[in-house]
Amino acid sequence: MVFLIVILIILAIVILFSIKVVKQAEVYIIERFGKYYKTASAGLNLIVPFVDKVRAVVSLKQQTMDVPPQGVITKDNVTITIDTVVFYQIMDPVKAVYEIESLQKGIGYLAITTIRDIVGKMDLDSTFSSRDSINIQLRQVLDDATDKWGCKIDRVEIKDIKPPVDIRDAMEKQMNAERTKRAAILEAEGKRQADITLAEGKKQSLILEAEADRESSIRRAQGLREAKILEAEGTADAIKKVADAKAKEIELVYSAIKNSNPDENIIAIKSLEAMQEVAKGPANKVFIPFDTSKTLGALGAASDILKKS
């Protein structure tokens, strides 16, 4: 009975050591008699106890590794401290276990030497403005170097770049000077723009005022011209009406004279009346008719007629 119990315990231990449950996104590297045998994937796996051994548990998830801050000398002989983080993923677990003793140490040393090589070719200002370029170069170099280790470098990011204290103080002073300079430039530019705007406003005001004066003068001249035209038209119309009245009067007189069949005596009297009216003028003139005898005869006849009447 005791022997049976011992056998059952041994079987339970063998079964316990024979069953390996691998988690998701992990693999087991199995060795048999010290030699690589197989890679156990996620799920339930059976091995031979005391013959097969789990050499390593490898995670297939993306992993991060902080590279210790390193002092790097730039091209212009300034020592700066760079803090870097690497994102990587194991693509071939067998190579990651058997091709290198410690994968993380290998990635760390490669990152340090590559950073020193890249930054050593750049000046201080370029290191601050070229982080993306440094990240890309680092990733390419590390990805090529770690390919034989079954590892893929996804990203490399520079977390921080710290210059020396004196350099940082000088940079802050320079930055403050640049800010003051930009502020002065912006203030001068604003004043210049304001002066230009005021000058443009005055110019537009003068132009509009001149345009208004010109328009007023034009309208005033047009009004005077139209008034003179209307006055001239009124004068011409009055003269025409007077002339028409005179012509009508002459026509009526002529018609009356014609209808009355005047003789020479009446004509002579009318001539004298006309001469009398002319003589009333301011000029001192003497009118002597050409035919004096006829005129005198006409006057005698006219006096006889008047006496009879």
Q: Which pLDDT tens digit goes with each residue over 147-205?
A: 999 999 999 999 888 888 887 777 778 788 888 888 889 989 989 899 999 998 888 88
Residue 86, class by beta-carbon neighbours within 10 Å (0-12 exposed, 13-18 middle, 19+ buried)?
Answer: buried
Those residues of the chain that have pLDDT short of 50 are 290, 292-293, 296, 299, 302, 305-306, 309
Q: Which fold has domain 63-163?
A: Tetrahydropterin Synthase; Chain A (3.30.479)
DSSP-derived letter for residue 309 is -
Do 186 and 123 contact (CB within 8 A), yes or no? no
Question: pLDDT tens for residues 257-289?
Answer: 667 665 666 666 666 665 565 555 555 555 555
Calpha distance 259→296 (Å, rounded): 26
pTM of the model: 0.54
Integer CA distances (angstroms), 221 to 61, 226, 227, in order: 95, 8, 10
User: What is the pLDDT at residue 280?
Assistant: 59
The residue ranges of every structural domain in the chain are: 2-59, 63-163, 262-309
